[in-house]
Every structure is written in C-alpha cells, then in structure tokens.
Structure 1
Amino acid sequence: MTRRLLLLLFCMWVRMGVMEGAGKDENSSSILRSVNIGALFTVDSVIGRAAGPAIAAAVDDVNSDPTILPGTKLNSVIHDTNCSGFLGTVEVQLSVATVNFIKWNLKYCPYDVALQLMENEVVAAIGPQSSGIAHVISHVVNELNVPLLSFAATDPTLSSMQYPYFLRTTQSDLYQMYAVADLIDYYGWRDVIAVYVDDDYGRSGISVLGDALAKRRAKISYKAAFTPGASISTINDLLVSANLMESRIFVVHVNPDSGLTIFSVAKSLGMTGKGYVWITTDWLPSLLDSTEPVDLDKMNLLQGVVALRHHTPDTDLKKKFMSRWNNLKYKESGPAGFNSYALYAYDSVWLAARALDTYLNEGGNISFSDDPRLNDTSGSRLNLSSLRIFDGGQRYLQTLMRTNFTGLSGEVRFGPDKNLVHPAYDVLNVGGTGMRRIGYWSNYSGLSVVAPEILYTKPPNTSTSNQHLYSVIWPGEVATTPQGWVFPNNGRPLRIAVPYRVSYTEFLAKDSHSPGVKGYCIDVFEAAVNLLPYPVPHTYILYGDGKRNPDYNDLVQQVALNNYDAAVGDITIITNRTKIVDFTQPYMESGLVVVAPVQKAKLSPWAFLKPFTIKMWCVTGGFFLFVGAVVWILEHRFNQEFRGPPSHQLITIFWLAF
C-alpha cells in the first residue's frame, strides 16, 4: 500500500550510535564498550540553550554512576540544526517492497546530517524540540524500530497509535489546554480568542483547547493563526482583526523564540490595558526563566499576563542540579538559559540509560538486520540500502515504557496513553519585574493553591467549590476580574425609531443637540441602557414628518420587519401589536388621569367626622328612630316592658334608637 507524505525532514536530528563492533556480534552484549547518544535541537534557541547543558550534564552523571551501564561509556553526539521553517520537501513512498525518498532539498540543511541518520545503526534517539519535525522523524523510526524520546515536542497527536515508537518525556499539550480551559471557566468567561502559530504544534493545541472549552459551555469565538516567521505587519493585521471581536480574552500559544512579537504589537495597538485578559501557555515562562538579567522592556510588555509553567517539585535532587547550573556550558552558546525543558532533557538521557541497562540485564541483544523493503531509488544520494532495522526495538520500547524513577522533573513514569503520569502546571501572574505564582493546576484536583504532590495523598476532588487561586493583578493594574468582552467594534449600532410627534412633546421631541431627540421616554431608555454592564451603541432615527403624529401601527410594523431594531416612545400595548413585537413592562399608566399638586393636610383627631354632613346626620338619626319604632311595634303586643303610659313607651323607643 502506497502513502505519499509531504514532510519537513531532518532540520534537527538526534543520532544515537551504538557500541564498537556490537552491530556485528548479535549474540553477546559483553563486548559493548560505548554507546553514542545524540540529541537534535537548535542550540541558539530558548529551548536549545537549556537542553544542551542539561544533556551534557546528564551524560557525565550517567558515566560517573557505577550502577548504570557498568563498563559502558555513554558518549553524546549532538547536532546543531541551526535551521527553521520548511527546509526540505521529501516524497516518501511506503510499500511492501520499498521505501523511497525521492526528493530532497539541500539548500538550507546539511546533507551529512540527514545521511548520518540514514546510515548509522541507532537504538534510540532523543529529540527533537519541534512537534512538526517529530511528526516526520516518527515515520522514520517506525520503519527502523527505533524509540524516539522527545523532551519538547508537545503536540498531543504525537501520542496516537500512528507513532508507536514516539515517547514524550515532557507534558503533553492535551493537559495544558485543559488547564487553560479550567482557568477560563474559573473566572466565568465564555468566549476566547486564540492566537497561535499555524503549524502542528499550534493547530493541535488549539484544537484540544476548543474541545476542552466546549465541555465547559465555552468556545473559541475567533482563531487568529499566523504562519511561522510571520512579519510584524502580518501580526499587526491579525490582532487588529481580533480586536474587532467582542471577546477580550486572548489565549496565546506560540513558540518562545518569537512569542514576544505578539505582545509588542498588541501594546502598540493599545490591547494590553484595562479590560483585556492575556493567557499564555508554557512558552512564556520558559522564555522569562531563561532570561538573565531581567529585561525591563520585555516585562513592560507582559504586565498582568497569566501564564502556565510545567510544575516540577522542589526536591533536593532538583535543588542540587540548580546549584550546578551556572557552571554548565555547552559549546559556545554563551550563558546557559535555564527553564523547565532542561529538566526534561536531563531526565530523557537518564531514561534512555536506565532502560538500556535493564534491557541488557534481561538478556537483550543489540543487533540489526537488513530491510529488503529499503532500496535505493535510481540516482538517489541517500544510500537507503545502508539502513538497518533495530531487531530489539520493540522490546526496548516496552522497557522504556515500564521504566519508573524519580528525576529532576519529578516521577518519570508513563501511563497507558504513553504520557507522563501526574501532569501539573504552575499558574503564574506577571507583575513588576517577575512572575508570582497564584496557584497550581493538575488533572488530579484541578485548580488549587496547594501543591499537587500534597494533593496526591488525598482523594481527588475537582468540584467547583474546591477550585481556588490567589488574586490576580490584570492588565492595566486592575484587581477586579475583567468581564471579558465588549460590544464588537465592527458591530452595527442599534437603530432606534422615535415617533416625531407634534403634540405632547414632553414625551418625545426633536432636539438640535446630541443625540437628536429628547423627552421623558428618551430619559427612561437612556437610564435603562446605562444600567447594563456593557456598552450598547445606538442611534436614534425620527419616524414621521413632524407635521402630524405618525401612525404607531405602521411604526410597530417597521420594527417587526427589521427596518428598525427597536422603538422608543409612548406606544400603547395592544393585542395586535404584541403578536408581532415584544414590549417592555409599561413605565407609565394609561387612561385619563388628573394631575394636581399635592398639599400636606393638617392632622386632627376629629378628621373622621369630616365626611358626615348635616344631611347625613339627619338621615342617620332618622334611621335610628325608624329602627326603634319597628322594634317597639314588634315587641309591644308580647313584652310588658313596652307597655304603659305613652311617655314611657316613647322613652323606650328613643332608648332603643340610642
């Protein structure tokens, strides 16, 4: 089966050679005298300046440890690729019979670097630092059964089954993007803008971020992608477009060597002030950690930024290594710039050495065999027939995956997904001349102010109530959490129709001053708009000719037809109108009313007598007498008390009335 791949090949490469004569003797490991381990990275880069000294120190430490590879010397062969971008186009044809590399552009990368990879028998490789190149090399090591240990390629897709020989010795961006999503959810934001480099590293990371946000009912509302090596003008145009969106939450996922250009352009555009939120992945702390002394110009660009950094426990082993760091140098790269990738590069060397020691102790042999599928293309300069397959590659890979030890970066142990267990990050806030840690993130307990290694001793708890961070100083030196969005600058202002009345101008009238209308209804509407926590641009449009009051039924119909976005005025709420538009709650009574000044009445204890007029008193008294007479008539015939002289009976009637 034929597959054609357009690949970026061997801009940076690691060569791990093998022992003297071991490739010829397949039955004995006792003659193994030395092992060459190579590393592939760009020396003059943020990651390279940290990885170079760390790898050299790890090789020295392995050789000085008599318990690891006794009698065998570990040699380091490091290639400085010193190149970037798309350096070569290789058409790879994989079939049952052949693997042909047909095209190779030699303009930028030395031919001998690629040829050494193809012709030397290798048992493992460390690197590269680029996710894009790791994709390319993974195809090669798959064919040759050579494990590839990468201390800096964080693309989550590299852990797929397509690359069985790829083993990541640093944290995957899968976890980092979930940490970013938890941060966004913690502060209650729902829309973010992703600024990223458009390569395997950037695209895959942002893809995972989109999935993680979707699980938290949030989303990436705009993707601002730029090509590697993009010019400042291109980045400027990109950020201008992003700034027209309503979201003010920016997630930056770029390379450390060029990432500050984003903030330099953003500051020139006024996008690093109050109301903006900038969240970066681990590239920014890696850059700042490796910069000594502190560059004040850089720090001024980054005030208020929230960033993630690989979390590594502060163990005695790490502190001891840090104390040695200033004395470590690699070639002529100048002062070593420490960052977390130095720890992962150091542990990668120890991982390869420990696994190889176990592999040999368990009876494993280092032997190679020819692959009949590898044949030279006519006229090819790559000498494919010299390539040989590592016979013990699968067994050595399994040994690597079950190796477990405590390194500078913490516990080095792989899970079923071939990623390091216990991924965790420090959450940092840039302020002043440094970075302040405001908490941690781990896939075990989410956001916390307690170190992950302490939480591992307790049951996992990722509930919302358990998520905590210290306070943040946001861009613009603001302590209050930004709302995260504004009305988009490219949005059309609301078109508000206002009846151009002739009568009752106290409610609505034309005005020569801004906003062009005035009246009680306008005052109520403006007061309601001012209560909103975000701006709502709007413009008033007079409806009518000003010579007679407009037809309100027609006005409502125009709103229903979307010729206007809304209408403000003394519009009566009736059944037919409610069927086509929505009304607010009425803010004034309808119908006939009398408006009169209110006077304060004088209080009097006899105020209850005011409603009783003379006529009312007479009628009330007459009713009393009538009731007394009725009672006398009914009782006179049977009750002795109602008999006697007429005067007595009259007194009885008045008594009953009283």
Structure 2
Amino acid sequence: MFTGYCIDVFFAALNLLPYAVPYKLQPFGDGRKNSSRTELVRLITTGVFDAAIGDITIITNRTRIVDFTQPFIESGLVVVVPMKKMNSGAWAFLKPFTKEMWIVTAAFFLIIGTVVWVLEHRLNDDFRGPPKKQVVTVLWFSFSTMFFSHRENTVSALGRLVLIIWLFVVLIINSSYTASLTSILTVQQLTSPIKGIESLIATSDPIGYQQGSYSRDYLIEELGIQESRFVPLNSPEEYAKALRDGPHGGGVSAIIDQRAYIELFLSTHCEFSIVGQEFTKAGWGFAFPRDSPLAVDMSTAILKLSENGDLQRIHDKWLMRSACTSQGATLEIDRLPLKSFWGLFTLCGLACLLALFIYFIQMIRQFSRHKEELQSSDRSLQSGRLQKFLSFVDEKEDELKSRLKRKQSERSSNRSVGDESMNDSKEAYAESSSSRNHEN
C-alpha cells in the first residue's frame, strides 16, 4: 500500500476527472536512500514510467523534458540550524536597540537640548547665566526629558512646540525599549550564530541537504557554494544527529531543504529552528510526458481541489503538526533598528529646523528694526555686523526693551530741552526787537 500526502492529492484529483484512468503504482528507489527526482523524471522520457507522482519540485531543467501539472503546494528552500538558549548577561539592558539606534537617540537628546536653549535663551532665566552653567543646563535638560523630569520651564511658543514633539518621541522610545527589554529578560530565547543563507555562505562549515533533491545543484550552480561543503542526509533522524553533532563533531552547522520537509521535521525536534527567509520559490507537481492531456486535466482537477478546500484539508492531515507549541521557546528577539523610528526622528528634526528658521527670521527683523538705536546707545557695538547680531541675540529681551525704552526717554527729554531753549531764544529776540522799536 502507498500512503502519504502526495498520494492523497493524486487520488483526490483523479476522482475529479471526467473519465476513468487505469493506473498501477510502482515504487522508485531502493527504499534506503532518497532517490533522485531528476532521474525519476528522466525515466518518463525513456518509457519506463508513464507518469511520476510524489514530492517532485518543478524546476527549469525538468520542465524541458516533461510536462508538469499545476503546483499543489509551495515549498521553497530554507535554512534550519540548532538553537541555543541565550543568557541575558550583565549588559542585557543594551540589547533592545541596535548600535545605530543608541547613537542617533543620544545625538537627538543633545540636539533637542541645544535647540531649546537657543529658543529660550533670550526669554527664560533658567537658560541664562555663566557659560559653564549653561552647558550643564543644556545637558541636564536634554537627558532629563528621558524620564519627563526636566525642571526648566519653556516660555516661548517655538520652544514649547519642539518640546511637545520631542516628548512624544521619547514616549514611543521608552515604551518600545521597555517592551523589548521585558521580553529579553522574561521570555526564554534561542539564538544561533547563523542568521540566514547569507551568513551561512560566509562560513566554511559543512551543510546538510536531502539526498536526491535539487537543493544541492541549486546551491552550487546559483549561489556558488563549494561542493565539498555538502553532506547528504536521508532521514529526519540523520538530520537531528548531524545538527546535534555540529561541524566540530562530524555533523553540520545547518541544513538546507524545502520548507514542507523542514516544518514536518521541526514538529518533533524543538531544539532546531528555521532562520532567515525562504530564499527560493518552488512548487511540487505531478510529471507527465510531453503534450499529455492528463497533465492539463490533472491541473484542472488540482485547481478544483484548491477552490473547494480539499487540498488544504489534505495538507492539514499530513503536514500540520504542533508538538513543539507547548515548549514556550522563542527565537532571539530582533533588536529594534533605527529604521523602525526613522519617521519619528525625521518629524522631530523637521520641527527643530522649522523652529530655528522662524526664530532667526524674527531675530533678523528685530535687529534690523533696532540697529540704529543699538549703535547709537552702545559704542562697543561699532564693530562687524555679525558680532552686532550675535550680541543682540545673546542679550535678554527684557533688558534690551528696557534699554531701548530708556534711550527713547532720553531722546524725548533732549528734544523737550531743545524746544525750551529755542522758545527762550525766540522770546529774547522778540524783546530786543521791541526795545529797539521803542527807542526809535
């Protein structure tokens, strides 16, 4: 008797054909080692077999010699590796973020502190004082926002706008950090030095593959992996032993095989796991001679099985296993990268640039309006234009307004004294004129 997933799919499709098809199933191979599917397909062209059913992957060199049915399952290549428990360690608090994320976050704390200092310096006494005190204020204000414990108040509208946006960014960063660190410290995690096909290619460790499958030729011809690295394996037991022994014990560091096989293997071997993404797209189909009408009719029947749900039910019967779900083990949690927060940092950066742009436009307009008054009131400002502007920006706004007001009062007083003197002169001139007229 022949049983299995592919056999059930074949019988179900056969029952949907509008005509009877006599058949006789014959095994291929010696029953001990996995036979070559390419050789099985080739025997159709020589007349040894009229068709071939089984886990035959549809690949280019096979489609050149036979016709395949519609794929009844998608199953690309994946990498499976042994996983080890990951200890949290003394520096576990750094693991939630990547190095780039830590650097950019620290830089933005300093940038926000500097921007708020610029916007508040002319208005707020908390951001004024000796240079040393101002540097300490900027650093303290920057990093105290991480815990929402900053004591300095913001009084300018632009400063409050920047701070509100930054506090929203800090809230998201703190929440993400807390959630990731909690998972790292409380959930049992598994890790492996191999993260996917790219890191596996970069090593020189042996690689296991299913004997008779197309994966070996694909990895040699398409990915350029050395042929000497491959170790043929025939059964799930050999898979498990080779992975447990490892490359230093005569085994392998990873196995590359089709996802359908690997998922079935992992259902009873919880210490191993798939790493990386599925890096090929392929499907299984039944093979028939060239121009065989059965290939077309069986494809139609497979599509009907897919539409009515029978194909999924057969899949669940044979390939769905959940023996490892109770273990509670998870793969290593990915560290939160910079790209996950790039939108927030961009929004905050644009807000800072906009606030600084508006601020300096306001300063330039005020400086242009009061430039003549400042030059006449302070001889020390008779220097370069840039130095005048910087001195203007550094001066507290209340003091500047008070000084300008005093200057205007002085001008008004001088103008009044001048008017009185002129009136006295006119009166004296009028008296002298009248006395001369009287003498005449």
TM-score normalized by the length of structure 1: 0.24
Q: Which has the higher helix share?
A: 2
Please state which structure has a larger fraction of its residues in strand.
1
